[in-house]
């Protein structure tokens, strides 16, 4: 036995005290140096005010008018939930696996700290942080460049400094928040992979559930992912995910959250990924609408110093989720049928043709040169066109759109372009004319494969759907819906002596007199041409601008037939003006925006202009009803739909030259809806009026949509009569109009049709 002398004992105690004191001083100095970033060696600490009120990035959410979440804008897909909205299974799995002593420590666990120190010395760092420390890391990105000092470049020291900062911030978090709040913040900020940040997005992405609905196995799998979002992903590494889930379950047994019997039952169950779906902008409701208003929102955010992708804003739109769903279903039903007809119509031939129905040479090659793939290859191969075309003609595996679902196939890029050019496209916009609130927006047939929006972005010739603007010009300048006009040729002569004589869609004029209402209902070209000749193209352009058309319109005689391209968005505003007593209301899609706390940042009031008198507007509504009520009306196909039974409906079809564009604009007192159908460009179309007219291509979608809307009482849209002005000065009954006209020679003279003299010359 070794004997220790008294002096030696005192010396040892002294050495130990000196060592302890020095260590304490050094540790205190080290903490001070880290907290103050002494001479830039350690990197800055997050400001204390952010520790007291930490900000985590939240996705901004877009809601329908009936409160349904339609989509998000985000840098990280994250939406917060409250503690009570989280399944106890998840909390138990988290505590058992990540921090069993969570309720006993104040942010730093002594055992965990020793484990970290040992891992530093062994140069094999491992995760032993408490949940609070992990929260500090998630909230402030402590391992990023913003918080790195000069010593952060030294591997061992870097991790020690990082852990020290996380420890210090964890202590502060524990002082400012309860344990439940820390658990909630942690689960709202932790990444789970698959573009899911936070438990709300993770539960939805992996299992299609709310966080409160997670069972034990699902909770264990999600907690297991936290250790490594890729290495333990059930999608990319299913075996690893299964093993890791079972490790979490075993930890739950160890700490008494589940029994051994439950563990034996749960561990053999597979991971069910049948509802796995990564949330992105290609999916969900109103995909085209969400993308179109994105640019509006980003501009708004820039003007107002807001961050759309991180602030957790809530955007409340005018769309009705039920009506949006019905619109998407109606478009799908109609376009699936139209596409089948189109494929059969062009079977064995390509549909890109000249006016003489001959295939356009080099059409696909020109289309290929404007494709993104060609542009990428051009960057890669420079001027080596042989190499570019070789790649463009080399088959590769791809997924393609079809009306029977997305299909896996092998095609060359050139063949895929040929394939997609065979598809017809569409746009639908539906609006409450009384408020200007857009209720449904379908920009195309499939957003994932066809990004182009045909509601606001796309502009096509409206054909006869433009004629109501011509007629409104006449009605507002003294004409009456019962005014009789002549279906006879009208010739225009320009400054060069060149002549232009519009023809009716069925060829020859009838040389019959008919009322303006019947002429518009039957869409007689010669009569709209005679009106634009009388009032002049520029005057019609002026009225179009008053009614909300912002596209450039050529003031030429052919404008009477709708030759200047416009968007559905613009044209819908015109038709809504007629229903809304002559007041043009800019179609609006956002009512207000709030911050993450529900405080209104900005409201968006309607923009209105008194474009027509109430009387003129009502006369135009009466005129539009002629498409169903007049003999030969072009919208009488609507009578096969329930929407037309016991209801006031007006409308106008539109068909352009060579049947390139088919339109239908339908009005009711509570809903105005416009639809366009056509090919990718004007050279792709049907070859016959029986298939290519607006009444065949676009009108069915309107009927299907309105039947669905009326069948759902929750939409609040009901069949009703058009509102008649209280002080309408002129009768719209044509017999009464004729009697009054013959009884008053001056009135008869006032409404003499300038085409009458032309009829006498012909006869």
The more confident residue out of 72 and 78 is: 72
Tokens, residue 704: 């299907």
Q: How confident is the model at residue 303, as a pLDDT? A: 94
- pLDDT tens digits for 701-725? 999 999 999 999 999 999 999 999 9
β pairing state of 600-603 and 590-594: antiparallel
Mean pLDDT, the chain, as a whole number?
A: 87
Q: How confident is the model at residue 225, as a pLDDT? A: 93
Mean pLDDT of 394-408: 94
Q: Judge whether 649 and 625 are in contact, CB under 8 Å.
A: yes
- Which residues does 397 contact at the CB level (< 8 Å), separation at least 6? 408, 409, 410
- pLDDT tens digits for 657-713? 899 999 999 999 999 999 999 999 999 999 999 999 999 999 999 999 999 999 999
Query: Comparing C-alpha atoms, which of 305, 306, 312, 284 is closest to residue 60?
Result: 312
Per DSSP, helices labelled H in 590-720 are 614-629, 689-692, 694-697, 699-711
Cα separation, 430 vs 504, whole angstroms:
30
pLDDT above 80: residue 755: no
Q: Judge whether 699 and 726 are in contact, CB under 8 Å.
A: no
Tokens, residue 241: 């995910």
- Which residues does 286 contact at the CB level (< 8 Å), separation at least 6? 64, 70, 71, 319, 324, 441, 442
Cα 452 to Cα 152, 367, 375, 459, 675, distances in angstroms: 48, 15, 18, 11, 16
Of all residues in the chain, what percent carry a pLDDT higher than 90? 66
Tokens, residue 516: 């303006």
Residue 359's φ and ψ, nearest 5 degrees, are: -60, 135
CATH 3.40.50.300 correct for 45-57+79-266:
no
The number of beta carbons lying within 10 Å of the beta carbon of residue 5 is 8
What are the domain boundaries of the chain?
1-36, 45-57+79-266, 287-420, 425-750
Cα separation, 243 vs 232, whole angstroms:
9
- pLDDT tens digits for 270-312? 999 989 988 777 777 899 999 999 989 999 999 999 999 888 9
- pLDDT tens digits for 231-268? 999 998 999 999 999 999 999 999 999 999 999 999 99
Q: How confident is the model at residue 144, as a pLDDT? A: 54
CATH topology of domain 425-750: Beta-lactamase (3.40.710)
CA torsion 477-483-487-488 (nearest 10°) is: -60
- pLDDT tens digits for 482-535? 999 999 999 999 888 889 999 998 878 899 999 999 999 999 999 999 999 999
Poorest-pLDDT segment among 57-61, 138-142, 240-244, 346-350: 138-142
């Amino acid at each position: 036995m070794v004997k220790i002398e008294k002096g030696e004992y005192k010396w040892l105690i002294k050495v130990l005290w000196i060592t302890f004191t020095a260590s304490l001083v050094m540790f205190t100095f080290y903490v001070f140096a880290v907290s103050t970033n002494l001479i830039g060696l350690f990197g800055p600490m997050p400001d204390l005010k952010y520790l007291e009120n930490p900000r985590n990035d939240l996705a901004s959410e877009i809601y329908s008018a009936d409160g349904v979440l339609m989509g998000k804008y985000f840098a990280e897909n994250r939406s917060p939930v409250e503690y009570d909205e989280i399944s106890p299974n998840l909390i138990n799995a988290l505590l058992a696996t990540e921090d069993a002593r969570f309720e006993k420590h104040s942010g730093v666990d002594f055992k965990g700290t020793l484990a970290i120190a040992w891992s530093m010395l062994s140069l094999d760092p491992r995760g032993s942080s408490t949940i609070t420390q992990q929260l500090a890391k998630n909230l402030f990105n402590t391992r990023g460049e913003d918080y790195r000092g000069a010593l952060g470049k030294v591997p061992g020291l870097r991790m020690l400094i990082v852990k020290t900062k996380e420890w210090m911030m964890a202590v502060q978090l524990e002082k400012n928040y309860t344990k439940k709040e820390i658990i909630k913040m942690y689960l709202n900020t932790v990444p789970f992979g698959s573009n899911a940040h936070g438990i709300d997005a993770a539960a939805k992405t992996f299992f299609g559930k709310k966080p409160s609905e997670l069972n034990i196995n699902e909770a264990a799998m999600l907690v297991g992912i936290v250790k490594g979002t890729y290495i333990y992903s059930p999608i990319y590494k299913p075996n690893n995910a299964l093993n890791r889930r079972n490790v979490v379950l075993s930890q739950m047994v160890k700490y008494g959250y589940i029994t051994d019997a439950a563990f034996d039952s749960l561990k053999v169950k597979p991971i069910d990924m049948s509802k796995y779906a990564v949330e992105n902008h290609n999916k969900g409701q109103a995909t085209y609408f969400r993308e179109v208003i994105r640019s509006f929102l980003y501009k708004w955010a820039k003007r107002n110093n807001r961050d759309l992708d991180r602030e957790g804003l809530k955007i409340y739109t005018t769309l009705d989720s039920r009506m949006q769903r019905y619109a998407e279903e109606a478009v799908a039903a109609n376009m699936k049928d139209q596409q089948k007809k189109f494929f059969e119509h062009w079977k064995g031939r390509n549909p890109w043709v000249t006016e003489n129905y001959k295939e356009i040479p080099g059409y696909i090659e020109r289309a290929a040169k404007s494709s993104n793939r060609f542009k990428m290859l051009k960057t890669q191969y420079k001027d080596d066109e042989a190499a570019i075309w070789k790649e463009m003609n080399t088959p590769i595996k791809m997924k393609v759109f079809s009306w029977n679902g997305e299909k896996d196939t092998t095609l060359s890029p050139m063949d895929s372009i040929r394939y997609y050019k065979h598809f017809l496209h569409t746009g639908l916009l539906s609006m409450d004319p009384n408020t200007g609130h857009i209720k449904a927006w379908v920009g195309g047939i499939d957003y994932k494969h066809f990004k182009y929006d045909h509601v606001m972005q796309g502009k096509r010739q409206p054909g006869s759907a433009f004629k109501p603007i011509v007629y409104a010009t006449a009605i507002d300048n003294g004409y009456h819906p019962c005014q009789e006009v002549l279906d006879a040729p009208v010739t225009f002569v320009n400054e060069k002596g060149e002549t232009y004589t519009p023809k009716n869609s069925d060829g020859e004029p009838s040389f019959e007199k008919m009322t303006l209402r019947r002429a518009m209902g039957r869409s007689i070209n010669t009569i709209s041409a005679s009106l634009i000749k009388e009032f002049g193209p520029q005057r019609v352009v002026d009225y179009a601008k008053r009614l909300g058309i912002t596209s450039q319109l050529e003031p030429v005689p052919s404008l009477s037939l709708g030759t200047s391209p416009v968007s559905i968005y613009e044209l819908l505003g015109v038709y809504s003006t007629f229903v809304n007593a002559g007041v043009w209301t800019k179609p609006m899609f956002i009512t207000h925006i709030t911050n993450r706390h529900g405080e209104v940042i900005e409201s968006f009031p309607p923009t209105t202009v008194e474009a027509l008198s109430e009387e003129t507007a009502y006369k135009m509504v009466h005129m539009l009803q002629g498409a169903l009520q007049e003999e030969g009306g072009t919208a009488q196909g609507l009578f096969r739909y329930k929407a037309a039974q016991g209801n006031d409906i007006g409308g106008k079809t539109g068909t352009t030259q060579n049947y390139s564009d088919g339109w239908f604009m339908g009005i009711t007192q509570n809903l105005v809806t416009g639809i366009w159908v056509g090919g990718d460009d004007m050279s792709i179309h049907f070859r016959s009026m029986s298939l290519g007219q607006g009444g065949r291509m676009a009108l069915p979608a309107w009927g299907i949509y309105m039947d669905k809307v009326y069948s759902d009482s929750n939409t609040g849209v009901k069949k009703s009569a058009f509102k008649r002005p209280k002080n309408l000065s002129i009768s719209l009954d044509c017999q009464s109009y004729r009697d009054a006209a013959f009884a008053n020679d001056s009135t008869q003279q006032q409404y003499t049709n300038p085409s009458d003299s032309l009829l006498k010359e012909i006869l």
